[in-house]
Structure 1
Amino acid sequence: MVEVGERPDGVTFTVVLTACSHGGFVEKGREIFEMMKVRYGVKPELRHYTCMVDMLGR
């Protein structure tokens, strides 16, 4: 996606965080959550925090 010039948005990160949660990739999910904020400037919303809680609670 990024390689072809598209920037991920909040929906993209929701999908990726959900996939990390369901796949058990906790550390990768945490990295992506930070990248979302720092690198792409996407402000976390309730749906992102919900994904994180789900991920950390598994």
Structure 2
Amino acid sequence: MDLTGAIWRKSSRSSGNQGNCVEVADNLARVVGVRDSKDRQGPVLTFDPETWRAFVTFTKGH
């Protein structure tokens, strides 16, 4: 999976965890990447944008 050009961001709510949380790159056209902020060179989970939007919508409701 080519994540060249990915812009990674953390949630503004991550400050309570000493800044450790997941980072999301949702600026790419066909893929959303998710990685551990403590291991930026480690593995990346990828989702298609529609699946990612459904996940975010679901979690906001709970």
TM-score, with normalisation over the residues of structure 2? 0.27
- Larger relative strand fraction: 2
> Would you tell me which structure has more helix in proportion to its own residues?
1
Task: Specify which structure has the bigger relative contact order, considering alpha-carbon pairs within 8 angstroms and separated by 6 or more residues.
Answer: 1
TM-score normalized with structure 1 length: 0.29
